[in-house]
């Protein structure tokens, strides 16, 4: 279908973008890579009167070393994130999850910030941001503010980015001593996650000193698997220890049913995938088996 008519603005600076959004009013929308927004416009599920394209603002792109964190511009594409050596070194969980996002074409246009602002529960990167305790930097008519990932994902397709605001960058802390894995189950290659699990773990000899685990598509927002994390702390770094902790993966989740999976199937998947993700993070055998073995 052809989208409803809209005006198009392509500012060269962030200040111009914020001004353009302010003068366009509530029915304006930010355009990033367009990979989620354009389908919505074509289906007429969204009909903004003005699109403010961030593609001309060079300051919103790129990955920078910021001491104990990386600062990733919101308009940095998935492909750039994937190829970036700083991300590979300091945020391997983000690199692993980004590699599972869609296909090359989508990764070439879609952006890290767009994925987070869109807040799709099936998107892979919100759970990664939650597991990593990333901080979102937002600019708007009232100035700038920072929002931790734990408060950023408000509801289904709803983030803390308000009308007239722009997500400008994401601060991703480094986790020295941790290893990471993202485990995703989808029906066909390159499609969305039925369930996904982002895991980081730090070993101390034969035990797990600390783990951070977050879940994709187990509710309207990504969910931190607090029960699993508590059970993993001090557990033995082996299959039995991880399996016992993964049994708590469903705690605090509220999965829904759709054409691809029932609630019960998602509850099963999250346990299996949590076990695989944590074993994968620990570098133990058993992780990353064929997705369709679940
Ligand atoms: C075929 C296909 C398969 C896909 N598969 C996956 C997948 O497996 N996993 C996955 O995670 N994703 C998947 N995606 C989505 C992809 O990751 C998109 O890139 C992402 O969801 C949106 O990013 P975007 O830059 O394209 O944002 P856009 O589509 O331009 O925008 C999406 C929404 O976010 C808002 N927005 C975007 N950027 C900002 C900003 N900086 N500040 C404020 N608001 C902003 C827009 O106004 C809009 O409401 C898929 C997409 C397609 C088309």
Q: What pLDDT shows up at residue 258?
A: 94
Question: Are 126 and 154 in contact, with CB atoms under 8 Å apart?
Answer: no
Alpha-carbon distance 174 to 71, whole Å? 10
What is the SS3 assignment for 151? helix
Question: Are 100 and 122 in contact, with CB atoms under 8 Å apart?
Answer: no
Alpha-carbon distance 9 to 59, whole Å? 17
Report CA(32)–ligand 1 centroid distance (Å). 8
Identify each DSSP E strand in the chain by its residue range.
Answer: 7-9, 28-31, 50-53, 63-65, 69-73, 135-140, 143-148, 153-155, 158-159, 166-173, 179-185, 195-204, 207-216, 223-224
Alpha-carbon distance 214 to 26, whole Å? 33
Residuewise pLDDT in 10s, the chain (294 residues): 788 999 999 999 999 999 999 999 889 999 999 999 999 999 999 989 999 999 999 999 999 999 999 999 999 999 999 999 999 999 999 999 999 999 999 999 999 999 999 999 999 999 999 999 999 999 999 999 999 999 999 999 999 999 999 999 999 999 999 999 999 999 888 889 999 999 999 999 999 999 999 999 999 999 999 999 999 999 999 999 999 999 999 999 999 999 999 999 999 999 999 999 999 999 996 544 443 344
DSSP 84-101: -HHHHHH-HHHHHHHTTS
Binding site membership of 93 for ligand 1 (Cβ less than 6 Å): no
Report CA(8)–ligand 1 centroid distance (Å). 18
Give the neighbor-by-neighbor strand order of the sheet with 50-53.
7-9, 50-53, 28-31
Alpha-carbon distance 225 to 204, whole Å? 21
Alpha-carbon distance 180 to 201, whole Å? 6
Alpha-carbon distance 116 to 30, whole Å? 13
Tokens at residue 293, please? 């073995």
Alpha-carbon distance 144 to 166, whole Å? 10
| HEC profile of 26-38 | CCEEEECCCCCHH
Report CA(116)–ligand 1 centroid distance (Å). 8
Q: What is the pTM of this model?
A: 0.96
Question: Are 8 and 51 in contact, with CB atoms under 8 Å apart?
Answer: yes
Residue nearest atom 36 in ligand 1 by C-alpha distance = 114
For the chain, the C-alpha Rg in angstroms (whole number) is 19
Residue nearest atom 1 in ligand 1 by C-alpha distance = 102
What is the SS3 assignment for 203? strand
| Apex 73 CA angle, 97 and 175, nearest 5 | 50
Alpha-carbon distance 293 to 281, whole Å? 19
Report the atom number in ligand 1 closest to the C-alpha of 165: 43
Report CA(109)–ligand 1 centroid distance (Å). 9
């Amino acid at each position: 279908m052809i989208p409803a008519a809209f005006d198009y603005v392509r500012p060269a600076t962030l200040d111009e973008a914020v001004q353009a959004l302010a003068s366009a009013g509530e029915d304006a929308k930010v355009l990033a890579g367009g990979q989620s927004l354009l389908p919505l416009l074509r289906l007429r599920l969204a009909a903004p009167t003005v699109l403010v394209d961030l593609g001309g603002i060079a300051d919103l792109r790129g990955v920078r070393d910021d001491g104990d964190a990386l600062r990733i511009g919101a308009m940095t594409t998935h492909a750039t994130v994937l190829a970036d050596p700083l991300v590979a070194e300091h945020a391997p969980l983000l690199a692993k999850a980004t590699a599972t996002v869609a296909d090359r074409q989508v990764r070439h246009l879609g952006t890290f910030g767009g994925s987070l602002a869109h807040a799709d529960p099936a998107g892979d990167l919100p759970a990664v941001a939650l597991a990593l305790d990333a901080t979102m930097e937002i600019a708007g008519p009232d100035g700038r503010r920072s929002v931790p990932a734990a408060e950023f994902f408000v509801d289904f397709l709803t983030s803390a980015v308000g009308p007239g605001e722009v997500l400008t960058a994401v601060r991703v802390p480094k986790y020295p001593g941790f290893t990471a894995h993202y485990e995703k189950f989808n029906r066909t290659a390159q499609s969305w996650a039925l369930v996904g699990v982002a895991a980081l773990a730090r070993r101390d000899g034969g035990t797990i000193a600390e783990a951070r685990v977050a879940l994709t598509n187990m509710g309207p927002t990504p969910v931190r698997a607090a029960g699993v994390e508590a059970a993993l702390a001090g557990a033995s770094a082996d299959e039995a220890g991880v399996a016992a902790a993964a049994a708590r993966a469903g705690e605090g989740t509220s999965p829904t049913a759709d054409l691809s999976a029932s609630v019960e199937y998602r509850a099963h998947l999250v346990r299996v995938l949590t076990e695989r993700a944590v074993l994968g993070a620990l570098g133990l055998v058993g992780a990353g088996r064929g997705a369709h073995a679940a």
